[in-house]
Amino acid sequence: MKCESSESKEQKPEIPCRSHGIREQCTDQPDQKEPTTYTNQVKSAADVKVTASKPRSRTGHKLGAKKVENKAPQNRKVTDYYPIRRSNRKTMAELKSEEHRHIDDLIKNGTEEGMQVKHMEGKGRGVFAVKDFKKGEFVVEYHGDLLELAEAKTREAQYGLDPQTGCYMYYFQFQSKTYCVDATKETSRLGRLINHSKIGNCQTRLHAIDGAPHLILVASRDIKAEEELLYDYGDRSKSSILAHPWLKH
């Protein structure tokens, strides 16, 4: 609006007129826009309040929500981060099974190691260790013909007719039945030559292969090299002791 005259200005000073004079006054101070500045200050204060009350991350999500998301991985199992270590140790059953198969192979192959035959004055032949044997270790098989009781008694009676023929028959029980290993026949097997002693360093044990019993000798204690291998024949009959007095020792 333009005023009609300067006189009207003076007559009505109370009514503000948007004249060039006022426009020039505003033009002289273009930076002072108080209403606009006040509005910006109020707005910025509100923004600060919102920012302080609801902090946001760079991606624009609320930090509170991010904390909830971070709690989920904490509920995982330890095995999700660390693999389970399994022991390489073998069970007792596995060790016994391996030992049994090892003895099977030794018996089937007729393996006889760590021994040698020596002649002793007044005693005859004996078997000596040339290596150390640990307690419970397989030493040798008492190898011979496996007989049932009736046939064994028939052979024993025949051997008794010839005093020059020794008797190398060993009777034992297996699955409620009596058997005998007859090693009287001279062979290269060493088990039949091991001598008797009540305090020997070997002991007899039965070892089954495919349901058939085998008589073996194992170390009853640790055996050092150069020791004579001995075991208890177990014959305590009077007739046997009279014929072989060394059975008393």
Token pair listed for 177: 């039945």
25 vs 67, residue with greater confidence: 67
The pLDDT of residue 244 is 66
Q: Which residue has 């920012």 as its token pair?
A: 51
Please report how many Cα atoms fall inside a 13 Å half-sphere around the Cα of residue 154, on the Cβ side. 5
Q: Which CATH architecture has domain 90-143+187-248?
A: Beta Complex (2.170)
Please report how many Cα atoms fall inside a 13 Å half-sphere around the Cα of residue 195, on the Cβ side. 21
Among 58-72, 96-110, 164-178, 223-237, the range scoring the smallest mean pLDDT is 58-72
**pLDDT confidence tier of residue 228, bands split at 50, 70 and 90:** very high
The pLDDT of residue 242 is 73
3-state secondary structure of 56: strand
For 15, other C-beta atoms within 10 Å of its C-beta total 8
Q: Tell me the per-residue pLDDT of 4-55, one tens digit each, with 9 for 90 and over.
A: 444 444 444 444 444 444 343 434 444 444 444 444 444 444 444 444 444 5
Write down the domain spans for the chain.
Answer: 90-143+187-248, 146-185
Report the distance separating Cα 161 and Cα 183, nearest Å.
17
Beta-sheet strands, E only, within the chain: 115-120, 124-129, 138-141, 145-148, 169-173, 178-182, 195-196, 202-209, 212-219, 230-231
User: What's the distance, CA 196 to chain centroid?
Assistant: 42
Token pair listed for 124: 């005859």
The pLDDT of residue 249 is 72
3-state secondary structure of 144: coil
Report the distance separating Cα 157 and Cα 150, nearest Å.
11
Whether the model pTM is above 0.75: no
Q: Is the pLDDT confidence value at 99 over 80?
A: yes
The pLDDT of residue 31 is 46
Determine if residue 225 is left, alpha or beta; phi over 0 gives left, psi from -120 to 50 gives alpha, anything else beta. beta
Comparing C-alpha atoms, which of 215, 211, 209 is closest to residue 233? 215
Report the distance separating Cα 4 and Cα 134, nearest Å.
133
The two beta strands, 212-219 and 138-141, are antiparallel
The pLDDT of residue 131 is 96
The DSSP code for 165 is S
The pLDDT of residue 163 is 77
The pLDDT of residue 243 is 66
Q: Tell me the per-residue pLDDT of 115-168, one tens digit each, with 9 for 90 and over.
A: 999 999 888 899 999 999 999 999 999 999 999 999 999 999 999 888 787 779
Stated length of the chain: 249
